[in-house]
Amino acid sequence: MAQVNKQISLESASQYFFDGMSLMVGGFGGVGAPPSLINLILDKNIQDIFLISNDTGFPWIGPGKLITEKRVKKLIASHIGSNPEAGEQMQEGTLDVEFVPQGTLAEKIRAGGMGLGGILVDVGLGTVVEANKEKVQVNHKEYMIETALTADVSIVYAKKADPYGNLIYDKSARNTNPLVATAGQITIAEVEEIVPIGSLNPEEIITPGVYVDYIIQSKGVDWKWVWELKQGTGSQEGQRSK
C-alpha cells in the first residue's frame, strides 16, 4: 500500500484560508491553540472570519490575536472574559457574539464531526439559553435541540503526528482539539513533532488520521502565558508577541 504523506509547509497551508471563512480553532484559554497557523492567518491578512472556539484566549494568546487584530466578524464561544478586546468589539457592535454553554459547545462540535444533525440537551433550560430553541420531550423529559457545528477549516494543535495524520495530544492541551479536528471540511493539524508511520501506538492515537487533511510542523508557542508575565514583571498588561 502506498504511503500517504499529509505534511505540507506552513506557507502552502495559506491556500486553504480565505476571507469570510468559517474557522474552528482548538484550545482552551489559548492552551492547545495552534500558534503558527494563527500567525499565518494574520500574516495573510485574512478578514471577516466566522470564528468558532471554546473562548477567545487572551488578547495576545491563541485565537485572541485574531480578535485583537479585528479579523473576526462573528464568533461562537462559551467565554470571552479573559479577552477584553472581544468584549469591547461586542459592545461597539463590530463583533457578533453567540454564547453557548461550554459543554454544549463541545458537544455541538463533536456532533458535527460525528456526522450528526444535532443533539438533545437540557443544560440551560430556564435561562436565556432557551431562547429560539426548538424543544422535544423524550422519556417525559424536556430537551432543547442543539444543531451540529462544522466549519470550512479546522485548525488544531497536537503533540505528535505521523504522516497519515494520526494525532496524539499533550496533557490538558488536548481539550477541544480532538473535537475540532473532526468538524472541519478541511482540518489542518499543527504539531510539535512528526514521527514515522507505525511509530505511534494505535491504542494511544486520539484522532484517527482520516480526519486530518494536512499536517504542518509547529514553530512553537510564541506568546507569554499570564502566569509567566506575573512571575516576571508583576504585570499582565500589554504583552504582545507581534
Partner 1 sequence: MGLGIETRHRIARRAALEIKDGMTVNLGIGIPTLVADYIPKELHIMLHTENGILGMGGSPLEGEEDGNLSNAGGYPVTIQPGASYFDSATAFGIIRKGLLDVTILGALEVSERGDIANWIVPGKRVPGMGGAIDLAQKAKKVIILMNHTDKYGNPKIVKDCSLPLTVKEGAHMIITERAVFQCEKGKLVLKEIMNPYTINEVIETTGAAVVVDEKVSVFQ
- Tell me how far CA of residue 146 lies from CA of 99, 101, 107, 120, in angstroms: 13, 11, 9, 6
Q: Does 190 participate in binding partner 1 (rule CB under 8 A)?
A: no
Distance of closest approach, residue 82 Cβ to partner 1, in angstroms: 7
Q: Does 128 participate in binding partner 1 (rule CB under 8 A)?
A: yes
Task: Check: CB of residue 189 under 8 Å from CB of residue 167.
Answer: yes
DSSP secondary-structure letter at 202?
G
Distance of closest approach, residue 128 Cβ to partner 1, in angstroms: 5
Element (H, E) at 90: helix 84-92
Calculate the CA 102 to chain-centre distance: 13
Out of 22, 36, 166, 175, the residue judged to bind partner 1 by CB under 8 A: 175
Half-sphere exposure of 188 (CA within 13 A, CB side): 29
C-alpha cell at position 131:
431562547
CA angle 74, 76, 82 (to 5 degrees): 100
First and final C-alpha spacing in the chain: 44
Q: Does 205 participate in binding partner 1 (rule CB under 8 A)?
A: no
Name the segment binding partner 1 (CB under 8 A); options: 3-11, 17-25, 144-152, 177-185: 177-185
Give whichever of 16 and 160 is closer to partner 1, judged by the CB atom: 160
Q: Is 168 exposed, middle or buried (0-12, 13-18, 19+ CB in 10 A)?
A: buried
Q: Does 206 participate in binding partner 1 (rule CB under 8 A)?
A: yes
Helix, strand, coil distribution of the chain in percent, nearest 5: 30, 30, 45
Q: Does 174 participate in binding partner 1 (rule CB under 8 A)?
A: yes
Q: Does 187 participate in binding partner 1 (rule CB under 8 A)?
A: no
Give whichever of 11 and 228 is closer to partner 1, judged by the CB atom: 228
Distance of closest approach, residue 18 Cβ to partner 1, in angstroms: 27
Distance of closest approach, residue 158 Cβ to partner 1, in angstroms: 11
Cα–Cα dist 83/72, whole Å: 13
Query: Residues 88-127 vs partner 1: string with x where CB under 8 A?
Result: --xx-----x-x-xxxx-xx-xx-----------xxx-xx
Q: Does 160 participate in binding partner 1 (rule CB under 8 A)?
A: no
Out of 179, 188, 200, 215, the residue judged to bind partner 1 by CB under 8 A: 179
Q: Does 29 participate in binding partner 1 (rule CB under 8 A)?
A: yes
> Residue numbers of the site for partner 1 (CB under 8 A)?
28-32, 54-55, 58, 77-82, 87, 90-91, 97, 99, 101-104, 106-107, 109-110, 122-124, 126-129, 169-179, 206, 221, 225-228, 231
